[in-house]
Structure formats: C-alpha cells, structure tokens
Amino acid sequence: MADGAKTIMIVEDDRFLSFLLKTRLEKDGLTVVQAFDGEAAVQALKTTTPNVVILDLVMPKVTGFEVLKAISISPQMAGVPVIVVSNLAQDSDIEKVRELGAREYFIKVKISVDDLVKHIEELAA
C-alpha cells in the first residue's frame, strides 16, 4: 500500500510492540500516530481522525474499554474501524468490545505481526 494519506493510530503501552508495528506500517507507506496509554489516546483522538485504530485493552490511566467507549460516542470517529489486540481472551471481553463497536479482536499471542499488518491495511484501504 503506497497511499501516504492513510493514518493509523496505535494505542499500546507495550512500547516494543508499538514500535514494531509502527516500523512495519510506515515501511508500507502509512502514517502512524502512537499513544502509550488510554489517556493520551483520548487526547490525540480530539485532534486526529485516523483511518484505523489499533487498541490494547489493558493500559495505564484509561483502559482500552474506556477509549473504545469514547470512540463509539464520538461523531468524528463514526465509521473508523477499531482493531483490538489484547491478551484478554475471555468471551465476555470479546463480546463487550464488539458491543462497543470494535471491528476485529485479536489475541496477541495468537496473531503474527504480518497477519495484523495485513488486516490493518485492508481496513485502511
């Protein structure tokens, strides 16, 4: 994908994973905005409308559930796909994020970076 106009927001407190994804996505021509906690994500979303949001659930300050709720009630974010990538694997967690509007849910230990990047690029297209 070579469309530099596409912006991806990564909301992930694991800095290694966040930078790994950022590097891969930028290599494919995407612009990446990072937030390392939920509070920073909520602030960034007030001034940035990404094409796709990658969201962890367990983070400091504000949880991913709270970020997803803020996204779901924001007219500015209507239609922006959210991909949740978390270690939480309970059916109740998956059901809750789907009810809040997440497009996809991946368990970190079960998805490769390559597969995740493929899903992100498909949603950003």
First to last CA, the chain: 8
| Whether the predicted pLDDT of 2 surpasses 70 | no
Using the predicted structure, report yes or no on whether residue 40 has a pLDDT greater than 90: yes
Write out pLDDT tens, residues 51-89: 999 999 999 899 999 999 999 999 988 889 999 999 988
| Helix axes of 15-27 and 113-124: crossing angle, nearest 10 degrees | 60
pTM of the model: 0.91
What SS3 class is residue 10?
Answer: strand
Instruction: Report CA Rg, the chain.
Output: 13
Q: Provide the Cα torsion 20, 21, 22, 25; round to 10°.
A: 130
Reported as a single tens digit per residue, the pLDDT across 79-110 is 899 999 999 889 999 999 999 999 999 998 88
The H or E element that residue 106 is part of is strand 104-107
Tell me how crowded residue 8 is: count the other CB atoms within 10 A of its CB.
25
pLDDT, tens digit (0-9, with 9 covering 90-100), for 5-24: 799 999 999 999 999 999 99
Average pLDDT over the chain, rounded to whole?
91
SS3 113: helix
Q: Tell me: pLDDT of 111 over 90.
A: no
Say what the pLDDT of residue 14 is: 93
Tokens of 17: 């994973």
Q: What's the pLDDT score for residue 1?
A: 40
Domains and CATH numbers, the chain: 7-124 (3.40.50.2300)
DSSP 82-100: EEEEES---HHHHHHHHHT
